[in-house]
Amino acid sequence: MAATPTPSPASASAFWADADRHLVRYGGGFTREIIERAAGSFVYTADGRRILDFTSGQMSAILGHSHPAIVETVRRQVATLDHLYSGMISRPVVDLARRLAATLPAPLEKALLLTTGAESNEAAIRMAKLVTGKHEIVSFARSWHGMTQAAASATYSAGRKGYGPSAPGNFAIPVPNAYRPDFTTPEGELDWRRQLDFAFGMIDAQSTGSLAACLVEPILSSGGIIEPPPGYFAALRDKCRERGMLLILDEAQTGLCRTGTWYAFERDGVVPDILTLSKTLGAGLPLAAVLTSTEIEQEAYERGFLFFTTHVSDPLVAAVGNTVLDVLAEERLDERALELGAFLRKGLDELAVRHEVVGDIRGRGLLAGLELVADRTTKESSDELGARVTRRCLELGLHMNIVQLPGMGGVFRIAPPLTATEEELALGLSILDTALGEAAGAV
């Protein structure tokens, strides 16, 4: 049967009737707003409402929506060279690989350009297994690395139940959460060294002697904006070296200036064996990358590394990636993320003074987390509180994303575009202030 022609815009009731009838739900319910367009830090609904986007779309649109430079690049490139046979390469692809390497420390100089974070993590895991000749993967217990098989098997924050066995040899280690420490010093602070020693003692007890890699985020995002303390990643790297494992860092949400440096791992002075980028690299378009050393790439190649996908090395999104690097450098958005991050943090700290339900504020640059609790002393969580604040923010014109995991309060992931203004951040803080006050009084 032939497809029906695209009709003129339907009424809101007809739109939602079609959506409810024909769309597969893939992660809870849909936000009940019809989004017509987006520009800068805002999305606009069919009924004329303007909503401030405090998540940069899916934590991706670091240059805001419809950035003029991105729009122009897409128009030009799609009319010139959009897609190729996967064995062919083009100038935008080689240019982006070279330029990414120039932003990174040695020996990261080889790039594989893909589409999504899951795909880049899948390729990184596949490469690590092939190069090491081993198959076991270690990740954080609140990790999120994607929805494809190997990436999903290394994801522990959600989505593990009901799908049958995950890939064999996947292990979780505890997250070093300073706000909710499981190993403590005599002073009651997180004892992350003892925690890490315990974790790898458990890994060694379970391993069959086939530890290939450790895949982690420098700042866990879906895990509740948790940043391991200084020194942690150097110690983790040493644990990997002792066992012949590769260290893979997933900078899907932290890479490319969001935290105030080009890459979050720069704080620790630890260079991964493999780095994965996605989300921010395409500034909202589907572009991802795997970066590694010449030595690892050569070993993978000699062993027959295969990751021949439909959209590997596509020129259209590679051209967008080059434009993203242009804008980041020309507008010094790493410095801007630091400045705006300080402004945002000050505003969040002021909210914590006014609202007892704010338990903790954490993060770096323009990736901030605000954890809600029903009681500051016990750190008791409240799903109802988080849901009320989220709902009220949207009603007032602010889109927020909340992470609600067992044993944690609701954690707002705040990640506005790097191009946002102080006035826009102040607007978001004002709306959040009102929502917190109203929701706390109602719970």
Taking the domains of the chain in order of start, what are their residue ranges?
33-66+332-442, 71-330
Would you tell me which CATH number, out of the four given (3.90.1150.10, 3.40.640.10, 2.40.30.170, 3.30.565.10), belongs to the domain 33-66+332-442? 3.90.1150.10
The amino acid sitting at 290 is V
Instruction: Give the residue-averaged pLDDT of 107-131.
Output: 98
Please indicate whether residue 279 is annotated as part of the active site.
yes
**Known catalytic residue: 302?**
no
Mean pLDDT of the region 266-273? 97
The rounded distance, in Å, linking the Cα atoms of 111 and 94 is: 9
pLDDT classification of 3: cutoffs 50, 70, 90: low
Average pLDDT, the chain: 96
- Whether 250 is catalytic: yes
User: Stretch 241-248: mean pLDDT, rounded?
Assistant: 98
Predicted local distance difference test score (pLDDT) of residue 5: 62
Per the residue annotation, which of 110, 279, 336, 362 is the catalytic one? 279
pLDDT tens-digit readout, 56-96: 999 999 999 999 999 999 999 999 999 999 999 999 999 99
Determine the average pLDDT of the residues in 151-171: 95
CA distance linking residue 257 with residue 338, whole number of Å: 9
Local structure of residue 1 (DSSP, 8 states): -
Taking each helix axis from N to C terminus, what angle separates 422-442 and 383-396, rounded to the nearest 10 degrees? 130
CATH of domain 71-330: 3.40.640.10
Long-range pairs for 343-349 at CB < 8 Å and ≥24 separation? 343/422, 343/425, 344/368, 344/414, 344/416, 344/425, 344/429, 347/425, 347/426, 347/429, 348/414, 348/429
Single-letter residue type at 23 = L
- Verify whether residue 149 is a known catalytic residue: no
Spot the catalytic one: 110, 134, 142, 144. Answer: 144
Q: Given 119, 217, 227, 334, which residue is catalytic?
A: 217
Token look-up 């690097």 returns 325
187 is catalytic: no
Contact 417, 55 (CB under 8 A): no
